[in-house]
Structure 1
Amino acid sequence: MNNFDIAHKLNNAKFIFREPIMSGHYVWRSSGINFVNNIYKILYNEISLVRNTKTIQCGSIVKIDNYINLYKEVSDYKNVFASVNFNYAIRPENTSVLLKALHENKDVIVMINTPLYRQFQSKAFLVDQRIWPAPSFCLSVNKRLLIHTIDDIMSHLNLFFDKMLLPYLWIEQKKGFKNFAERMFLPLMPENSKVLTIASTLYVLSGVFSKKLSTDEKIIQYGFSERLIYLYCVMQENKPYVVWPSGVATFDILISEDIEEHMNSYIEKTRYKVFKLNKTINKNTRIEDQLPIKEGYPIILFRNNNEIFYKLAFTGEIGKLTSIEMIKDLLQKSDSAILINNQTYFNECLSEYKVEFLCEKCENSLEGFASLGNCYPEIFSNCKRCGMKNSLKKLFLPSNTRSSINEKLINKK
């Protein structure tokens, strides 16, 4: 599945305009932005359970001096503006803003929804003139509480992924990006049927950043971009459209206008949307074939011969709506079908990899595979090859497999 296929799905959902304003650059529509904001809300609700949160909205402009001052000691983070003779520039990342807010109030997590400039070689999807929305949060934590806090954050991120019906596998890279991050925790998801990719990033930033804040505490940062939406679409590659989970979709239910008056007293208004049937379509066309199923809402309710019917967008199941209480069960049924589909796709992709307990010596001698990192949370057992106790469970990629995972993360053999 390529970017054009994904764009076609999201155009069907009315998330983006069909024609890009320039080659490969698509523009979000209001319904797509509302969907993304709904995802932010779900993430915010989960992270707010870790610690009291403060949300800030920031622009996309940063003072060059502030940016250079933050990154001049970080050798492995490309400083694209270091030689540019301007006072301001499009802000290339969230960290400088996050750390500033963190410095002002160290007792809060800061999460921002802001444009982010793409400067890396890997190509972003759905960029609007190379800018797209990306939320991040950041917090400082006592060294003694670091692992506990990471596990706490990760448990809530897992709940966030679960609500998105996205299967995942966490790996840890303790070496990190030299002096940018001393540890990295990465949730992997399928980029296609054979390749896993990084869905988002959870960093323990290096001591360089703690020094900038004049603190001995460790700084944790997490962020993701529109890539989560891309990966969700990939797992439904066998459909010309994509169906979203209930609670995540902008609306859970589409209701034809001729039955709205019978339903609006039973269904929360924020969870349904009214649509009109196209009356110009040939009369021989069945009503259920006229439904706007490609918009991706889980359930569509419509009238046929004075009776109310439902259609599940993902499975195509059609039946009579005999009671309003059925809707909750139908939403669960839709979510279950999507989850089974996504999990099956993930398992098939993971089967291309090797997941084994290996000691460091056997790992270094393993031929034909490259280590992507340790599975997290850490699991110990006897080494599969030599039997050494307390060997870590690790994830390996076949060396001849092309992957979009940054090569810096791969310890090639």
Structure 2
Amino acid sequence: MAIEIKAPTFPESVADGVVATWHKKPGEACSRDELLVDIETDKVVLEVVAPVDGTLTELIKNEGDVVLGEELIARFEAGVVAETPGETIAEPEFVPAAVAAQEPILSPAARKMADEKGFNPTDIAGTGKGGRVTKEDVMRHADQNPVASPAPVTVSPQTTAPRVEATSPVFAGERVEKRVPMTRLRAKVAQRLVDAQQTAAMLTTFNEVNMKPVMELRSRYKDQFEKRHGVKLGFMSFFVKACTEALKRFPAVNASIDGNDIVYHGYQDVGVAVSSDRGLVVPVLRDAEAMSLADIEAKIREYGQKAQAGKLGIEDMTGGTFTLSNGGVFGSLLSTPILNPPQSAILGMHKIQERPMAVNGQVEILPMMYLALSYDHRLLDGKEAVTFLVTIKELLEDPARILLEL
């Protein structure tokens, strides 16, 4: 029975997608729910799986083609597990030794090196794709055959034989370039970042926070916390709770601009920027103000695993009223984060680093972190933004204030 394979229905915010990777080829047998193709949108990668056991018979859309929601992309034959006549499953390239000896394939650099050393290409074992002889193969062959003589040079009676230097020839390395198309997600992120800089009056204010109180609290209770809740106690949950408390006090930071209107949100949906193989994604913690530290840690862990596996859905990243970006996990000491439109502010966290600080007239070595708040000056005044950042600093330096709402 013939079945039409169609692209999934895209959400309203996604206009189209691109066929990223076909995991099956025409004539290849598939099991039910086995992955057929990845369709990449500007937000997530959607997977299309085999509806039943059968065989993929024809591709309507190839890799790189743009597809719309519910558009036909392939044809499938149910219940047929044998290969379609005339079609064969691609096998890994393998060149028998006899054939390789007769028709060796050399890269340009390898051929040049073999000629200069006087090696017969058929004597060199190739380790490249399809038995191709690479420059490294020639060098390995030279190490194993140090007495190999160079190609003979014919010298006429009237010509003096050229002087042969005893030094080894120097070979220029291959200058390899690779061009790949930008993914839809990467392109969309780039567009949004540029738009944010062009449309918002973006300004960044800085402060620093003493992380010693949070670190001591975490060190004291982390084992009990993990035993009780099943997740590790990290720093991000403290920052999320501090931000939600500060957002309650400064609702303009939690607002957004829509045309000529200011939209004030009566909830705190905090986005957490996560780096993945496909680019930067910002999953959202819904109603973060009502979440416990354990709930926050568990959700962030879940989002991190889904991001690495490419399983984040559009619903995971839709919305958000404020964003946290932690460049400190990569070693960043200071940065100016870019707004995540239409939000009015984003908080940048950085590396915790011990520094000498003056405390009550004495010098102490404290674990300090720089904080950066980028905000839209069209909506927020400097006083409001700076006071908001100072509030976060005070809450983190005395975590009990978070629980007491002081």
Normalising by the smaller structure, the TM-score range is under 0.3
Task: Answer with 1 or 2: which has the greater Rg.
Answer: 2
TM-score by length of 2: 0.21
TM-score by length of 1: 0.20
